[in-house]
């Protein structure tokens, strides 16, 4: 017979022999199983129905086991927001601003640009009263302060909302990343050109601006007509190509001008067949290649993304493209990546090389990860919402080359024959460092405040834990001890810290003793009066 049925039979055996008028308190206590031994912890897996003295399996486990301090609060460890030693600082994604964050990290790692921005005359920052928060106004002020924070902040990541707001960007809508890069550099160049320092005036041109000419040659007289033009990046078609060299070669390829597209030659004073090509004149220190992954699809009348694999070298010799015998060597310094199959959505990530150590890092908004070993696959990021079946197999790459179907911009830095160690050291100016120190102080105060709140919650939780544990140990009623009826559900709610409970009115105890309630052992449990 099952234990529950055995208890049931033993509790009510007397009912067949005792007349109602002869029922005593002893009979009632026998029916209510008051004398049944209390269960011991470990002997029962769950609460015994039918034994009102069983106080096992009603929620006491969380109070009697080891203390988990995290259960007493919902405050994250403030130190998780602290920057780790020898790591970089991330940037908060404000909704759809990951494309901005990638460019900011790439530009921050351009040491010449960072050094130049630190020289930007900022009288507001230099004369700032430390009793209030510093609020930049112009684009250069925002970028200058942001770079100083990225360099010396104690925070794991910082908020770029000031700069984003100053640029008038919609944080909820993803913009054209390639267009943003052009417009921002143009805006920065215009602002810096008004500075008195000549090195500061020309820093954008020196770093990013190159020159080429559209050279048209008349087939009849051979007259050359060059049309010079500046560029901040070379926009390369990737359709039908496998590597960067093929893309650059096509960019410089000669085209024929004939038929309706003939060229008017001033020497011949008439339209003539001609050829036209782009001739590179000079290259900047930082050479940006825009891989045209987002193209207009005439059939759908919308932009689409090209997922073509393109291989690119870690070291690139641009000498042959300049028509020179001597080498013009560039080193890969950053790869900007778009994850996603659509041209209108997705996520932007940057792989950037640290100029000090030559180590590569993955910048993904707030998260930064060092890329080494098997993780050092530049330009490789899994696509969003793409099944394994739809993924094109990655072609094999030679040593010193990388291959990507998501890279949309490659950044190369000109290789210098002799590197001056001072060129890699960029110090934050004293007036900016004061502002960084002020922000670090605020951060430390916040950390201390969060730590205090966390400690108070833990101390309060521990005190309650000990109180409940002590009370629970007092609950079992031994033979001869006075006891109280407490509803089983009330006991469970009391042990469930998240449930608010009301006090119990046990004035009806004598009524219960005078009137036999068959289900009482299942609904109520007996606890020692002292525990109550």
Bridging pattern class, strands 302-305 and 483-487: unpaired
Average pLDDT over every residue of 318-334: 90
Under 8 Å CB-to-CB from 28, ≥6 apart: which residues?
513, 514, 516
In order of 254, 293, 406, the CA distances from 300 in angstroms are 31, 16, 22
Residue-level pLDDT at 73: 63
Give the start-to-end residue ranges of the domains of the chain: 3-65+479-522
Q: What is the pTM of this model?
A: 0.77
| CA–CA dist 78, 68 (Å, integer) | 18
Buried b (16+ CB within 10 A) or exposed e, 266-305: eeeeeebebebebbbeebbbbbbbbbebbeeeeeeeeebb
Residue-level pLDDT at 514: 45
Q: Is 265 noted as a catalytic residue in this protein?
A: no
Give the three-state DSSP class for 91: strand
Average pLDDT over every residue of 32-37: 72
Residue-level pLDDT at 422: 57
Bridging pattern class, strands 270-272 and 274-282: unpaired
> If pLDDT is split at 50, 70 and 90, which confidence band does 164 have?
very high
Bridging pattern class, strands 401-404 and 310-313: antiparallel
The token duo for 399 is 């040593």
Average pLDDT over every residue of 57-86: 76
pLDDT in tens, 272-307: 999 999 999 999 999 999 999 887 777 776 777 888
Catalytic residue among 109, 142, 241, 347: 347
Q: Is 356 noted as a catalytic residue in this protein?
A: no
Q: Do residues 55 and 36 lie in contact, with contact meaning Cβ atoms separated by under 8 Å?
A: no
| CA–CA dist 439, 447 (Å, integer) | 12
More confident residue, 221 or 11: 221
Angle between helices 98-108 and 139-152 (to 10 degrees): 70
More confident residue, 476 or 333: 333
Catalytic residue among 48, 54, 98, 218: 98
Q: Do residues 224 and 215 lie in contact, with contact meaning Cβ atoms separated by under 8 Å?
A: yes
């Amino acid at each position: 017979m099952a234990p529950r049925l055995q208890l049931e039979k033993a509790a009510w055996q007397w009912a067949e022999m005792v007349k109602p008028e002869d029922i005593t308190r002893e009979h009632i206590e026998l029916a209510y199983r008051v004398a049944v031994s209390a269960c011991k912890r470990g002997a029962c897996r769950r609460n015994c129905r039918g034994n009102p003295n069983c106080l096992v399996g009603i929620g006491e486990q969380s109070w009697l086991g080891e203390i988990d301090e995290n259960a007493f609060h919902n405050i994250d460890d403030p130190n998780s927001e602290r920057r780790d030693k020898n790591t970089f600082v991330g940037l908060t994604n404000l909704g759809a601003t990951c494309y901005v964050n990638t460019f900011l990290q790439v530009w921050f790692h351009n040491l010449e640009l960072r050094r130049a921005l630190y020289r930007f005359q900022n009288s507001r920052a230099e004369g700032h009263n430390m009793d209030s928060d510093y609020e930049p106004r112009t684009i250069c002020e925002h970028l200058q302060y942001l770079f100083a924070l990225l360099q010396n902040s104690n925070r794991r990541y910082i908020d770029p909302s000031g700069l984003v707001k100053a640029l008038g960007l919609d944080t909820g809508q993803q913009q054209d990343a390639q267009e943003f890069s052009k417009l921002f550099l143009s805006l920065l160049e215009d602002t810096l050109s008004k500075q008195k320092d000549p090195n500061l005036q020309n820093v954008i041109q020196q770093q990013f601006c190159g020159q080429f000419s559209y050279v048209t040659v008349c087939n009849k007289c051979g007259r050359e007509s060059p049309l010079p033009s500046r560029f901040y990046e070379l926009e390369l078609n990737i359709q039908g190509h496998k590597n960067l060299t093929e893309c650059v070669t096509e960019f410089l390829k000669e085209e024929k001008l004939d038929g309706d597209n003939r060229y008017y030659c001033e020497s011949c004073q008439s339209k003539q067949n001609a050829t036209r090509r782009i001739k590179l004149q000079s290259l900047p220190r930082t050479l940006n290649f825009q891989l045209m992954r987002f193209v207009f699809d005439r059939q759908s009348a919308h932009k689409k993304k090209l997922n073509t694999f393109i291989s690119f070298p870690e070291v690139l010799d641009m000498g042959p493209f300049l028509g020179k015998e001597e080498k013009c060597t560039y080193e890969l310094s950053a790869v900007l990546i778009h994850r996603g199959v659509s041209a209108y959505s997705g996520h932007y990530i940057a792989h950037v090389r640290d100029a000090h150590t030559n180590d590569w890092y993955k910048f993904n908004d707030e998260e930064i990860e060092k890329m080494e070993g098997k993780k050092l696959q530049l330009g490789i990021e899994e696509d969003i919402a793409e099944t394994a079946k739809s993924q094109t197999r990655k072609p094999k790459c030679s040593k010193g080359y990388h291959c990507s179907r998501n890279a949309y911009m490659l950044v190369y830095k000109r290789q210098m024959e002799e590197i001056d160690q001072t060129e890699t050291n960029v110090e934050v100016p004293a007036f900016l460092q004061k502002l960084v120190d002020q922000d670090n102080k605020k951060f430390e105060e916040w950390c201390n405040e969060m730590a205090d709140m966390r400690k108070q919650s833990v101390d309060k939780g521990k005190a309650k834990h000990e109180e409940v544990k002590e009370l629970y140990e007092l609950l079992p009623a031994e033979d001869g001890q006075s006891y109280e009826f407490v509803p089983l559900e009330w006991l469970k709610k009391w042990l469930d810290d998240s449930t608010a409970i009301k006090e119990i009115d046990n004035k009806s105890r004598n009524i219960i003793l005078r009137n036999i309630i068959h289900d009482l052992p299942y609904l109520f449990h007996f606890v020692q009066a002292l525990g109550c």
